[in-house]
Amino acid sequence: MASAEPRRLTRPGQPARVLLIGTALVFLGLFLLLPLLAVFTQALAKGVSAYLTAIADPMAWAAIKLTLIVAAIAVPLNLVFGVAAAWAIAKFEFRGKNTLITLIDLPFAVSPVIAGLVFILLFGSHGWFGGILREHHIKVVFAVPGIVLATIFVTFPFIARELIPVMQSQGREDEETALSLGATGWQTFWRVTLPNIKWGLLYGVLLCNARAMGEFGAVSVVSGHIRGLTNTMPLHVEILYNEYNYTAAFAVASLLALLALLTLAGKSLLEWRQPELRRAVGPARDRTARRKE
Amino acid sequence: MSIALRGVGKQFGEFAAVGNIDLDVPTGALIALLGPSGCGKTTLLRIIAGLEIPDEGQVLFDGRDATSWPIRARNVGFVFQHYALFRHMSVFENVAFGLKVKPRRERLSSTKITEKVQSLLDLVQLGWAGDRYPAQLSGGQRQRVALARALAVGPDVLLLDEPFGALDSQVRHELRRWLRRLHDELHFTSIFVTHDQQEAIEVADTIVVLNRGRIEQCGVPSEVYDLPTSAFVHRFLGQVNELPVSLRDGRAFIGPIDISESTDVSATAPKSIALVRPHEIEIGPEESGWPAVVVAVRVIGPIVRLELCAEGQPAHEPLEAEISRERYEYVNYSVGQKVGLHFRRWQVYPANGAAA
């Protein structure tokens, strides 16, 4: 009876269902799969050896290394920032909370190019801090620190945005219970808060990492495009493309695409290996629903 | 451990959650904080737990000022309405949590912890459920796990925030009796918050009735039920019928019934109401008492509830009376029947105080 009911309800909607699923699939195919396929076809158009040569190029290697370094600095920093911001917003009441939430969204709202220009304005040779930096022989703009700063700016909403709803829906009761049982703040964080948010956190980290590696606009402005020094992978791809070196451009692009695919595969694998994830969502939602009564 | 509150007050922004609260909880007492939602009962419990810091006043634990002690130092067990079990831990791990987070030199050995947790699970009749996860248990079972977890650290005080509020009535009834037995066996001091007067009367030694952040009345259940000091308490602890009191020629009346004998007429405000509980209405033959018509009869197990429209009273506000099933079967009232009403007990309050 219970199983027959929903089927009867959906039957009149059958054409609509087919139409919706079909539209989604066609759209995905046209705008995602086809370009992805094009990247790999183009990269391998002149054979595997040409592909490998293009990747083994020292300049390409330098770009790959720089991209990994930038991500390795930006992601952990945003991890700390994201957890701290989400914690503050979800668990405490304070003045200016809404302003903080709006500010976290700022990088989503402004164009990455403007983000890049802001850093030039601040740290460039004619910028506000340009003089001080020059005196101390510190180079920010057109150097690695500038790229890292721009990347952090562009990617900082990802983890916080992912965690805020998770933490808000869980409320404070778990932490309060842990404290009443004699746990220290630190123990409470590691044993109660972190396990509760780990999936949201992981997903945020994956998204943040993908964006950190793929960021073009902001990084392009502050990088200065110095080959082998300040070129990240996306910038390197553009340079190669502008030089009509399509095979090399697409070879490096295929690596970026591969990183993205690996990120997604990693996420799916985690979800698949942890059925607990689905189970964990249930009671949390249940609890918030009840609280609203 | 005895707990005392001295002039405790707490504001949330503009809203005064509780104000000027004085309360003494002797060691080993089982106290209910009773009141409607928004009366400040949960805030008061959280202040005792250390989850809120009062803006004014003192919290004393065994006479020592504990107002600024952190939660960890208070040695209180806190149980939430929605259990707050750690979802990623098994039932065993949940109960063991408080034992495992102790500093190394105070911590029991892991075999001792296992033994203790198992004995606690047996105590809450969940000895078989150690490996389960909270999501696999029913509401009543989850609440028992939460209790076992709170008891594991050997608290001096057990604080329960609407502990049975999310459970269905059968389970709730069982858990209430079980909590009472547990309290009698283990002799800790317990304070629980509830909006259910039945629950408070059934479980507690002392009931503290709160309204708008203030204590309205504090006493043993029978005292609070039978001798309410305000119309609010009278209304909150069970069903009441509200009837206007009229003053004529220096005498006081409810309807046509002269209550001057048992009422201090000179102290009665010109606008007063009498509150009468359903079981305090006596139904007699038509010729005697206040004439009324039976408008509805409902048999509820051992009692029978009658709705009565008394002469001169608005028809949409019938009085509610309760009689025993035996009496009902003997007299057999039917809808439309004419009867006469008497009141066995009533209490008179000034009408303006009624709104408070």
For the stretch B200-209, pLDDT in tens is 999 999 999 9
**Domain A48-290 class in CATH:** mainly alpha
pLDDT over 60 at B211, yes or no: yes
For the stretch B137-177, pLDDT in tens is 998 899 999 999 999 998 989 999 998 887 888 888 888 88
The C-alpha atoms of residue B204 and residue B192 are separated, in whole angstroms, by: 9
CA-nearest residue to A173 within chain B is: B84
Q: Considering only CB atoms, which chain A residues are within 8 Å of B82?
A: 173, 287, 290-291
Q: Angle, nearest 10°, between helix axes A58-91 and A97-109? A: 160
Among the listed residues B48, B24, B26, B45, the one whose alpha carbon sits nearest the alpha carbon of residue B35: B45
Q: What is the pLDDT of residue B263?
A: 77
Q: What is the pLDDT of residue A128?
A: 84
pLDDT over 70 at B217, yes or no: yes
Q: Considering only CB atoms, which chain A residues are within 8 Å of B153?
A: 181-182
Q: What is the pLDDT of residue B16?
A: 85
pTM attached to this predicted model: 0.78
Report the Cα–Cα distance between both ends of chain B, in Å, rounded: 34
CA A192, distance to chain mean position in Å, is 25
The C-alpha atoms of residue B347 and residue B243 are separated, in whole angstroms, by: 10
For the stretch B306-338, pLDDT in tens is 999 998 888 888 999 999 999 988 988 889 999
The C-alpha atoms of residue A76 and residue A40 are separated, in whole angstroms, by: 31
The phi and psi torsions of B321 (rounded to 5 degrees) equal: -125, 150
Contact residues of A toward B, CB < 8 A: 173-174, 176-184, 187, 191-192, 195-196, 276, 279-280, 282-284, 287, 290-291
pLDDT over 50 at B10, yes or no: yes
- Pick B149's closest partner by Cβ from A181, A279, A287: A181
Among the listed residues B331, B345, B352, the one whose alpha carbon sits nearest the alpha carbon of residue B257: B345
Radius of gyration of chain A from Cα atoms? 23
Q: Considering only CB atoms, which chain A residues are within 8 Å of B152?
A: 181
Give one DSSP letter per residue of B235-281, joined into a string.
HHSS--EEEEEEEETTEEEETTEE-GGGS-GGGS-SSEEEEE-GGGE
Mean pLDDT on B268-280: 87
Contacts (Cβ under 8 Å, ≥6 apart) of A15: none
- Pick B135's closest partner by Cβ from A173, A182, A279: A279
Q: Do residues B114 and B100 lie in contact, with contact meaning Cβ atoms separated by under 8 Å? A: no
- Pick B87's closest partner by Cβ from A179, A187, A280: A280
Mutate to test the interface with A, among B88, B90, B99, B153 (most CBs of A within 10 A): B88
Contact residues of B toward A, CB < 8 A: 49-51, 70-72, 74, 76-78, 80, 82, 84, 86-88, 97-98, 101-102, 133-135, 149-150, 152-153, 166
Domains of chain A, by residue range, sit at 48-290
Q: What is the mean pLDDT of chain B?
A: 90
- Pick A180's closest partner by Cβ from B71, B87, B102: B71
B102:A290 CB<8 A: no
pLDDT-derived band of residue B305, with 50, 70 and 90 as boundaries?
very high
Q: Do residues B118 and B93 lie in contact, with contact meaning Cβ atoms separated by under 8 Å? A: no
Q: What is the pLDDT of residue B54?
A: 93
Mutate to test the interface with A, among B11, B43, B82 (most CBs of A within 10 A): B82
The tens-digit pLDDT sequence of chain A (293 residues) is: 444 445 555 555 788 889 999 999 999 999 888 988 888 888 888 888 888 888 888 888 888 889 999 999 999 999 999 999 998 888 888 888 889 888 888 888 888 888 888 888 888 877 788 778 788 877 877 888 888 999 999 998 999 998 998 888 888 889 999 999 999 989 999 999 999 888 888 888 988 998 898 888 888 888 877 777 788 888 888 888 888 888 888 888 898 888 888 888 877 887 776 655 444 444 443 443 333 33
A276:B88 CB<8 A: yes
The C-alpha atoms of residue B49 and residue B33 are separated, in whole angstroms, by: 14
Radius of gyration of chain B from Cα atoms? 25
ipTM of the complex: 0.83
Give one DSSP letter per residue of A162-178, joined into a string.
HHHHHHHHH-SHHHHHH
Shortest distance between the Cα of B135 and any Cα of chain A, in A, equals 7
